[in-house]
Structure 1
Amino acid sequence: MRIPISLSCADQWCWRGDVRGVYTVKQGYRLQMEGVMNEPFQFTAWRVLWQTKLPPTILNFVWRCGRDVLPTRMALAGRGINVDPLCPLCHSFQETPLHLFKLCSHTCRLWDAISDLPMVCPGDSFAAWLSKVIEGRKEVVVRECLALCWSIWKCRNDLLWSNKTWEPGEVVRRSNALLVEWSMVQTASGITLNDSAVHAVAPTTDNGITIHVDAAVFPNREEGFVSAVVHASDGRFLAARNSPVRSLRDPVLAEAMAIKEALSWAKDCGWQVVAIYSDCQVVCNLLKDTSPSYSYSGCVVSDCIALKRYFVDVSFHFVSRSSNTLAHALARATASRTGSRTWFFAIPDCIQRFLLVN
């Protein structure tokens, strides 16, 4: 049986797909979305969309457009709701997102002010066209496009629910006001936002050691490879170690096992004050999380926490990959060797060039 070894954990049920083995709504949603049939023309610009600095309301609106769940009249009729499927603006064609935002005679001329927009190709859905805009155009064009779409939708709703007259000028005014508002918010916040991942600063480890760990997994190999690079509190290189582990091609499991192997090694060496550095944010979060964890990774993390009792002090820190080059290079080099290897004071050949640079 292909089961990672963790003798301290009894067999139990867990939810596959979640790093803690616990069901969450997020994981359930992802599983459900994986079962949806892939259509020929679909929204594909998710990664770019979530990186766009726009209000959550607008991002949610684009998400609805991309998932084709915007409550247009045709969408409501398709769900069995007794509603006239014709466009409330022109009353000539069925109201789909593509018709409402791009093809309707009351909205198509509004796009003339925005340059460098892609053409609507035969067979395109609105989601497919919007994907082309977000993925292939400059951010200023994307903002103009989304502001206009949102303004069309809001004015369309005012017509339906508040009996307001459809005025193209009001759509343009709202769109321009949104662009000004977004620009002012970005200017006030300094437009250059800090990365959400905060890298750890080396703590003071007087009379202690720091251990940088990493893991490497490969799609064609069932085993993974872990490494640990040890430095004294004054920055001197002390030791290094690498070894293969059974990780079932799971990178999170491999990263957790890298920390466990480093702690076991530190215990055997008699090091009492240890600071562990890993570039795996998920495992670092698991080590700080007190919630139940039933996954393979969670079992290994539990072993890591249990090992802390053998030390005077153990701390875990997240660092960026660029700050973990030694352990990263050593882990990947393990794939070309057999068995484990340990270096004391002698620096492994595969990381010497990084030490010289640093």
Structure 2
Amino acid sequence: MYWCHEKHGDYSVKSAYKLLQVQKSYWRRSDSNSLWSKIWRIKAPAKQKGVEVDPMCPVCKREPETIDHVFSHCSVAVQCWQMARNELVWNKKACRLYVIVDNAKQYLEQWRYAQRKVSYSMFPQSVEGDGEVSWVKPQESEIKVYVDAALFEEFNASGIGLVVRDSEGEMIMAKTICIKETLDPEMAEVIAIKEALSWTEKLPWQHITVESDCLLVVQSIRSKTPMLSLFGRMVKECRRLLQEQNTVSLSFIKRSANMVAHELARASYFFPDREFDRRSVPIEVDVALKADLC
């Protein structure tokens, strides 16, 4: 048995409380909802509403969480802007707006993960090669399989993009998978890695690195922590596939280093369950490939 409202399958008071709130919401009268909406819109300090809110920024915990701080002074915001500046100054690459936004989301995901009940201490520390910000070519005689997932809530679907690249940086092949269900983000990412590891079994190369930009999933797969949930079952399957392929490894990279797979995953709903060569990839993927090689 497992508790389906937590990734790790263990019961927690927090998830049970959330579930009760959702269930209660079905029994509230519309006039009651309207009353509470008006109460919460009152322009009063949070303490007067009965909720203690720390005015300090919850990310860096150094300064009050003002708009100026959030966008200009917070350490996470500064990292995003510095990365964009460094790419331009040192690598002569201008970061597109969506790359900066994706990096901000990545930093936010890591911060949220750090606040979760399942702490980093349960998982192995980062290994050499983790956390690349810019795309890096595979070594000679090695290939890399880049993995990403995307959600299409408006279509009730999820998509996966898998891209194989050689030591020259050229795309050898790629494929999309479309799932007719809106999955949880981490579930979509772990299924994407499982599909990549199943695919590598059939590839002719020996030394293969699978790279994903979802830190939570990569750390979960590396861990030996048992998980009884559906997410945990997928993690267990990924561990098994990695064990059976001793020349295949798994690495974590930042979103900015995974833009080709990211764009392919975003295109997977419109190009479902297809395989591509370099000449047939969607235009967005082609643009991302060229940007990596500049």
Query: What's the TM-score bracket when you normalise by the shorter of the two chains?
Result: 0.5 to 0.7
Change in Cα spacing, 1:248 to 1:136, as seen in structure 2 (3 Å) is: closer
CA distance in structure 1 between the partners assigned to 2:55 and 2:181 by the alignment:
28
Structure 1, gaps ≥5 residues long: 1-12, 60-132, 140-194
**Greater relative CO (CA pairs within 8 A, separation 6+):** 2
CA distance in structure 1 between the partners assigned to 2:137 and 2:282 by the alignment:
28
SS in 1 for 2:162: strand
CA distance in structure 2 between the partners assigned to 1:288 and 1:278 by the alignment:
13
- Residue 342 of structure 1 corresponds to 275
TM-superposed deviation, 1:210: 0.6
Q: Is the 8 A contact 1:211 1:230 kept in 2?
A: yes
TM-superposed deviation, 1:263: 1.4
Change in Cα spacing, 1:203 to 1:334, as seen in structure 2 (3 Å) is: closer
What TM-score results when the alignment is normalised by the length of structure 2?
0.61
CA distance in structure 2 between the partners assigned to 1:277 and 1:16 by the alignment:
28
SS in 1 for 2:275: strand
Q: Is the 8 A contact 2:194 2:234 kept in 1?
A: yes
Pairs within 5 Å for 1:83-102: none
In the alignment, which of 114, 126, 131 is matched to residue 200 of structure 1?
Answer: 131
In the alignment, which of 298, 315, 318 is matched to residue 232 of structure 2?
Answer: 298
- Residue 49 of structure 1 corresponds to 57
Q: Percent identity?
A: 25
Count of residue pairs the alignment pairs up: 210
- Residue 16 of structure 1 corresponds to 4
TM-superposed deviation, 1:45: 6.3
TM-superposed deviation, 1:246: 5.3
Deviates more, 1:36-45 or 1:262-271: 36-45
TM-superposed deviation, 1:221: 3.5
CA distance in structure 1 between the partners assigned to 2:240 and 2:268 by the alignment:
27
CA distance in structure 1 between the partners assigned to 2:68 and 2:288 by the alignment:
39
CA distance in structure 2 between the partners assigned to 1:47 and 1:247 by the alignment:
39
In the alignment, which of 143, 161, 164 is matched to residue 209 of structure 1?
Answer: 143
In the alignment, which of 263, 266, 273 is matched to residue 207 of structure 2?
Answer: 273
- Residue 92 of structure 2 corresponds to none
Q: Is the 8 A contact 2:157 2:269 kept in 1?
A: no
What TM-score results when the alignment is normalised by the length of structure 1?
0.51
In the alignment, which of 211, 216, 219 is matched to residue 282 of structure 1?
Answer: 216
Pair member with larger Rg:
1
1:308-338 Cα offsets, whole Å, 9 max, x none, are: 244241211111111111111111111123x
CA distance in structure 1 between the partners assigned to 2:223 and 2:55 by the alignment:
27
What is the aligned-residue RMSD (CA, Å)? Answer: 3.3
